[in-house]
Amino acid sequence: MKTRVIVVRHGESTFNVKRIIQGHHDESLLTEKGEAQARQVGQFIQGISVDAAYCSPLKRAARTAALITETVGGITPEPTDLLKEISLPLWEAMSFTDVEAQYPAEYRAWRQTPKELKMSVPQADGTTEVFYPVRAIWQQAAEFWQQLLTKHQGQTILVVAHSAINRALVGTAVGLGPEALNRLYQANCGVSVLNFPGAWGQNAQLESMNSTSHMGAPLPPLRSGFKGPRLLLVRHGETEWNRESRFQGQIDIPLNDNGRAQATQAGDFLKAIPIDAAVSSSMMRPKETAEIILKPHSDVSLEVTDGLWEISHGEWEGKFEHEIEAEFPGMLDAWQTKPETVQMPNGETLQDVWERAVKAWDQIVASYSQQAVPKTVLVVAHDAINKAILCYVTGLGPDAFWQFKQGNGAVSVIDYPEGVGSEPMLSAANITAHLSGSLFDTTAAGAL
């Protein structure tokens, strides 16, 4: 039985507004807006049965947790030092501008090679200690998970903490190391969901990440200073074969009525977002999904590409799982546990899909980089394609394929700080609240 964890970053704080580094410093308080955001999270998750809640003891997170649980009712958050924000002893209570000016090499490492960020911290005895803040927060996150999963197997848990520790929580859960700190984004009161299949040591599934629509912002804001494109990665709406859990692959199955409704809901969700360009797989189901989403954006033409076609399942296409197991004993289990090892009978391997999906994706990024202002590009594709792209942009390999959930009509957001060649940031993943109003992905999903 899976353990489900809802991870929330604290609401907007006084130091956030002033762009002051917080870390362990505990004078920063929630703003009026931050308090409202916390209550909005409570309203968003109201009705979900939460078994326990944990929070950082620092005021901004503890207050956020208190406001959320007051709204939800029935639980009291337990503070733990394992959820404290990253310790940055030389920088805390300084502005980002001053830190960049006074510690240029360290600040550059923080932004570009976070695993290597080190600080020489004076000790009481006159010596100095070399400290690696990002490596330390990763170890802290792993220790938290080990304790939580030992105590709460099969339960639903709420966790309220901070930006860097939340990124470490997500990173350690899915198998990313401290070098990935800046590949993940956590907005104030953004909500993420992780599903752990068992004890610590088994990587979690990222059901969704950094949902912000409960606060009236469909997507997390673009980070200050980002110059490259923002890509909105969407999975096509439901087909009848999705509903039946029949493998479709490259058989060109159209959307069903529910799939068209999902595409319409995704279009409404993204209606206020300025979209500059759009690319989709040339298969019917993503192409129609894209066309429906683009109805409020009549000035945007849709480009289609075969590079984003769904995986070829070969002889599995058109079949149900029980038929596949009967004809190809053991292969379905291998696909569901070690997908990178499977050669589809007369079809593709995951590596084949990876190579063409990454090539098509990189071409899209390159086409909309080096622009005077950042462009927003809609990309609509398929389950396997989207999962491969999400693995790629976070720095994971094909073996992590099942660690990303992709619901029909779901929206993910990937930002490129400097355009093509720069390290991408996953700003949101598998957002489906526009389809059901729920935090959780309730789409049929179905076979690929």
Cα 191 to Cα 145: distance, rounded to the nearest angstrom: 18
Please confirm, yes or no, whether 236 is among the known catalytic residues: yes
Reading the block at residue 406, the tokens are 């992709």
* 164 close to 139: Cβ distance less than 8 angstroms: no
User: Using CB atoms within 10 A of its CB, is residue 423 exposed (0-12), middle (13-18) or buried (19+)?
Assistant: middle
The pair of structure tokens assigned to 276 is 């500059």
The span from the CA of 98 to the CA of 94, in Å, is 6
- Residue 123: Cβ-neighbour burial (10 angstroms; 0-12, 13-18, 19+): exposed
Q: How far apart are CA 266 and CA 297, in angstroms?
A: 13
- Closest Cα to residue 424, out of 237, 263, 185? 185
Contact 54, 148 (CB under 8 A): yes
**Cα–Cα distance measured from residue 167 to residue 164, given in angstroms and rounded to the nearest whole number:** 5
Owner of token pair 């009291």: 76
Cα–Cα distance measured from residue 346 to residue 437, given in angstroms and rounded to the nearest whole number: 41
For 257, counting Cβ atoms within 10 Å of its Cβ (0-12 exposed, 13-18 middle, 19+ buried), the class is: exposed
DSSP conformation class of 179: G
Long-range CB contacts (within 8 A, 24+) of 45-49: 45/6, 45/72, 45/158, 45/191, 45/439, 46/71, 46/72, 48/6, 48/72, 48/156, 48/439, 48/440, 49/156
Nearest to 212 by CA among 66, 85, 41: 41
Task: Please identify which of the residues 207, 310, 317, 348 carries the catalytic annotation.
Answer: 310
Residue 355 CA from chain centroid, whole number:
22
Q: Between the CA of residue 247 and those of 29, 157, 242, 253, 348, what are the distances in Å?
A: 51, 34, 8, 10, 14
Q: Give the strand pairing for 119-122 and 128-131.
A: antiparallel
Q: Is the dihedral of CA 211, 215, 217, 218 positive or negative?
A: positive
* Candidates 236, 297, 313, 382; catalytic one: 236
State the catalytic residues: 236, 310
